[in-house]
Chain A
Amino acid sequence: MRPWFTERYGNPSSLHLDGDEATAALESSREKVARFIGAGSEEIIFTSGATESNNLAVIGYVTGNRRKGDHVVIAESEHISIHNIAKHIEKQGFKVSRVGVDQYGRVSVDKLRRKITDATILVSIGWASSEIGTIQPIREIAEALRGKGIALHSDAVAALGLAPIDVGAVPVDLLTLSSNDIYGPKGLGALYIRKNVHIAPIMPGGGQERGLRSGGEAIPAIVGMAAAAEIMTSEMPAEVARLAQYRDRLIEGVLDRIPRTYLNGHPRERLPNNAHFRFDAVEGESLLLSLKDKGIAASTGSACSSKTLEPSHTLIACGLLHEEAHGSLEFTFGRWSKPEDTDRVLEALPGIVARLRALSPLYDKEVAP
C-alpha cells in the first residue's frame, strides 16, 4: 500500500493517467475484498469502517425502503453500534424490536420469527459476538426470512477470518466488514450489498461508490485492506485450528484450576479466538490490573472499566446479574499469540483470583476453598 501514499497519488475520479492507475487499484482491491466473502465486486462499497458500514446498512436500508414497512428487528446481544443506530431510527419514526438471546448469547430462530410483523423490513443480527465469542445461527436465520421480503443485515467484523463467511452459501443481504479486524490498516471498512438490494445513501456528496458513499476513496487503505483479506483467506484454515487449540486449552485449564468459575458464551458455537469467563466474588477491573502486572492483556465486561460505568449489555442479555457481569474476564488470541501465552495465563490467574477472593467479603470460604 506504500506507493499509494505518494508516488501514485491519483484520484480515481480524475481522467488523467494517475487517476486511471488509482481506479485500477481501487477496482482490483474491490475484487479481492469481494472474493474474501464470496461476493461479486459490484456488491462491495468501501466506507470508513464498521460503524459507517452499519449506519449505511441499517439507516440506508430503512430510509430507502420505507414504503415497504417501518419495523426492524435486532438482537439484544448486538454490538453497541447497532443498538445506538436502532435508537437513532426510532427517533426517525421507525419501530425496533429487540429479540432476546439464550444464556449462551445465541438468538433463537423461533423467537426471532415471533418478532416479525407485516411491517418488518429489516433484521440485523451480528455474525458473532466480539465479546463473548458466540456465533449466531445466521444460515438458519436467513432461511427463516427467505421469501418474506425482509432484508438481513449482519455485522460480521468479529467473525472475519475466524469463521467461514460466504454470502453465496448464506444469503444475507447486507454485511459489514472492517479492515482493522483482519490486520489491515485502521479507519477503513466495507459494506456488502447484495445485487438488487436497494439502499439510500446517508451522506450526500460527489457520488462516489455508485452514489452510495460519497467522498474520495482512501486508496492506500483500500489497497491495504485487500492485501490483508488475501492473506487472511490463505491462512484461515490453519489459523482457526491453531487458535482453537489455544482457546480450548485455556478454557479447560481455567475451569479446572479455579473453583466457582464459569464460561460465558456458547460452549461449542464459539469463535476460535475467544475465551470468556466469570469468577464468583471478584471484580473484573481488579483482575485486569493484576494480569497487567504480569504482562497479560485481557478485557472485562465490568462497569468499572467502561466509559459509561455500565456493565456489558451483552452479558446482561445472557441473563447475568450485574455482579456476575462485573466478575467477567475476556481473553482473545490472535495472529501473534503463542502457546506459551496460555501457559502464562494458567500460571498467573489462579493466584490472582485467590488473592482477590481473600480480600472480598462476597466470597464464601465455607462453600469453596
Chain B
Amino acid sequence: MKSTTYSEKTLDHFRNPRNVGTLEGPDVAVGKVGNPVCGDLMYMYIRVKDDRIADIRFQTFGCGSAVATSSMTTELVKGMTLNEAMKVTRGDVADALDGLPPIKMHCSNLAADALHDAIKAWREGRAGEKPAPPKTSDIPATCGPETGPSDIEGADTLLGKGVHDGLADPSAFADKRVLVVDRGKPSVDAALELTKHTGRVIFLSPTVEPSSKDDPRTPLKRSDVKVIYEARPIAVLGEGEVEKVRVHDLREDEEYELFIDAVLILA
C-alpha cells in the first residue's frame, strides 16, 4: 500500500479536521508527542469538567495521517470520562478511520499517546500549564561560559580549516553554511552579522526557546538565522576541512549530523 493510499474517512479528516486549535485556562491540560525532526509534532489540549473531557483541541505538524488521527481522536473522546479516554488506543483511532496504511501505523498514529499525555498531566495536577517540552529540567537555563573550541571534538584540529574562533572577517563566510555555537550575546550578534554575508546561518543553543523579551537570543526570532534550541555540538567532522557537525538533540537525547561549511565558536 502506498503511503498516500488513505481511506476516504482519513482523507475527510485530513481535509476537514475537527477541533483544531488551542485551549487555555485553569481546567485545561496539555499533552505532547512527537518531534519535528521525525516529521511529527502534536499537542492535545483537554478541558476537564466532572472527570470528563468537556472540550478538546489539537495542533499538529505532520503528514496526512498525523492530521487525520489527531482529528479523529478528538471526535472519539469528546465527552468521555478520563478513564474511558485512557483506554482509547492507537488501534481504535486507526479503526475509526477505516484503517491506515501499514507504514503509518506506528510512525504517524501518535494522537492517542498525546491524549494520554494530556490526561496524565491533568492527573498530576499540571492543569493550566503552557505546553512545555519534556525533559527540560536537565538542560541548563543559560549557556554558561565554556572553555572554547576544545570541548567540541575535532574543533581544535580543524581550527582555521572551517572552524573559526572569531569574526575578524565576516566576508570570508560569504555563501557558506555557518553554524554559530551559542556563547551568549556576542555569538547572537555574530549570527545576525553573518546573515548579511550568507543565506544560511544556523544558531545552536543548549537552552530552551526563550519566552522573555530580555533574553539575548530573542532577536534571532525575527531574523534569517535558523535557530536550533536544546541542542549541543558534540563534534566537528571532516577530512582536512569542516564537512559536518554532530549535534546532540537534548530534548530527544538523539544525535544527528548536519552538513555545513564553517563553525563559529567564539573563544
Using CB atoms and an 8 Å cutoff, list the residues of chain A in contact with chain B. Answer: 76, 97, 100-103, 111, 114-115, 281-286, 288-290, 292-293, 302-307, 309, 311, 316-319, 321-324, 326, 358-364, 366-367
B149 to chain A, nearest CB (A): 21
User: Does A362 contact B226, Cβ atoms closer than 8 Å?
Assistant: no
Known: A102-B175, A285-B3, A321-B228. 9 other contacts (CB 8 A): A282-B61, A286-B62, A289-B4, A289-B64, A304-B40, A304-B63, A319-B260, A323-B36, A326-B36
Is B132 interfacial (CB 8 A cutoff)?
no
Most A Cβ at <10 Å: residue of B59, B107, B175: B59
Choose from A97, A103, A309, A361 the contact partner of B61 (Cβ within 8 Å): A361
Binary interface encoding of chain B residues 27-46 relative to chain A, with 1 for a CB under 8 A from any of its CBs, else 0: 00000000011111111000
Choose from A114, A290, A307, A319 the contact partner of B240 (Cβ within 8 Å): A114
21 of the cross-chain contacts (CB-CB < 8 Å) are A100-B243, A100-B244, A114-B241, A283-B61, A284-B63, A285-B4, A285-B63, A286-B14, A286-B62, A302-B63, A303-B39, A304-B66, A304-B107, A305-B3, A321-B258, A324-B226, A326-B39, A359-B17, A359-B20, A360-B59, A366-B221
- A101 CA / B4 CA spacing, docked (Å): 31
Chain B interface, >50% SS class: mixed
A183 to chain B, nearest CB (A): 24
- A304 CA / B103 CA spacing, docked (Å): 9
Q: Tell me the chain B residues, 161-217 only, with Cβ under 8 Å from chain A.
A: 175, 177, 199-200, 202
User: Does A322 contact B221, Cβ atoms closer than 8 Å?
Assistant: no
Given A283-B66, A318-B259, A364-B221, A289 and B14 contact (CB-CB distance below 8 Å): yes
User: Does B20 contact A319, Cβ atoms closer than 8 Å?
Assistant: no
**Chain A residues near B17 (CB-CB < 8 A):** 359
Binary interface encoding of chain B residues 249-265 relative to chain A, with 1 for a CB under 8 A from any of its CBs, else 0: 00000001011110000
Given A115-B239, A281-B61, A309-B103, A321 and B39 contact (CB-CB distance below 8 Å): no
Nearest 5 pairs of A and B residues by beta carbon = A304-B63, A285-B63, A361-B59, A323-B36, A360-B61
What bracket does the count of chain B residues touching chain A fall in? Answer: 35 or more
Is B135 interfacial (CB 8 A cutoff)?
no
**Chain B residues near A76 (CB-CB < 8 A):** 259
**Chain B residues near A364 (CB-CB < 8 A):** 221
Q: Tell me the chain B residues, 1-15 only, with Cβ under 8 Å from chain A.
A: 3-4, 6, 11, 14-15
**Chain B residues near A316 (CB-CB < 8 A):** 259
A182 to chain B, nearest CB (A): 26
Is B74 interfacial (CB 8 A cutoff)?
no
B55 to chain A, nearest CB (A): 18
Q: Which residue of B lies closest to A366 (CB)?
A: B221
Binary interface encoding of chain B residues 225-252 relative to chain A, with 1 for a CB under 8 A from any of its CBs, else 0: 0101000000000011101100000000
- A124 CA / B175 CA spacing, docked (Å): 25
Most B Cβ at <10 Å: residue of A114, A326, A361, A363: A361
**Chain B residues near A283 (CB-CB < 8 A):** 39-40, 61-63, 66
User: Does A322 contact B3, Cβ atoms closer than 8 Å?
Assistant: no
Is B60 interfacial (CB 8 A cutoff)?
yes
User: Does A321 contact B14, Cβ atoms closer than 8 Å?
Assistant: no
Is B67 interfacial (CB 8 A cutoff)?
yes
- A303 CA / B256 CA spacing, docked (Å): 15
- A205 CA / B55 CA spacing, docked (Å): 70
Choose from A311, A321, A362 the contact partner of B41 (Cβ within 8 Å): A362
Choose from A102, A114, A302, A323 the contact partner of B261 (Cβ within 8 Å): A102
Given A283-B62, A322-B256, A359-B60, A103 and B20 contact (CB-CB distance below 8 Å): no
Given A102-B175, A321-B228, A292 and B4 contact (CB-CB distance below 8 Å): yes
